[in-house]
Every structure is written in C-alpha cells, then in structure tokens.
C-alpha cells in the first residue's frame, strides 16, 4: 500500500511540475509592457506596430484553423 502512495505522489509531482513553471512564467509578465511587434493591416495592407497603438485599447485575436 505504501508503494502505491509513493508512486501516486511521484506521478503527481511529475505531471504538476510543468504547470507550476508556466504559472511562474505568466506571473512574471504581469504589469510588464508587451513585446514590440509589427503586423499587416488586413484592410489597407499597411504595416502597423504595437508602438503606433500605444495608449489605445486594442484586442488581439490570434486564430488558427487546423
């Protein structure tokens, strides 16, 4: 019975490890500025940078069709 508990504990620690580090990485980004990047405007084809939109509320929607 004790061996079963040890195996269960090890399995829990192994599977929870990656999630704990992802939470730490996400927490480190709070209150930090977004990294600079540029995208093409779908309507006009002009290049738009995130810096050009500073001070405005923006919504980024990244989607993929698999």
Predicted confidence (pLDDT) per residue in 15-36, tens digit: 655 555 666 777 777 888 888 8
Collapse the DSSP code of 49 into the 3-class scheme (helix H, G, I; strand E, B; otherwise coil) and give the result.
strand
Instruction: Provide the pLDDT confidence category of residue 13 given band limits of 50, 70 and 90.
Output: low
- In this prediction, residue 66 carries a pLDDT of 79
CA distance 7 to 3: 6
CA distance 48 to 33: 17
Contacts of 58 (CB under 8 A, 6+ apart): 50
H or E element in which residue 40 lies: strand 38-40
pTM of the model: 0.41
What does pLDDT average to over the chain? 76
CA distance 43 to 41: 6
């Amino acid at each position: 019975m004790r061996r079963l508990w040890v195996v269960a504990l090890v399995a829990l620690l192994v599977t929870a490890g990656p999630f704990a580090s992802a939470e730490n990485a996400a927490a480190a980004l709070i209150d930090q500025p977004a990294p600079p990047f540029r995208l093409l405007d779908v309507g006009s084809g002009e290049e738009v940078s995130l810096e050009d939109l500073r001070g405005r509320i923006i919504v980024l929607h990244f989607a993929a069709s698999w």
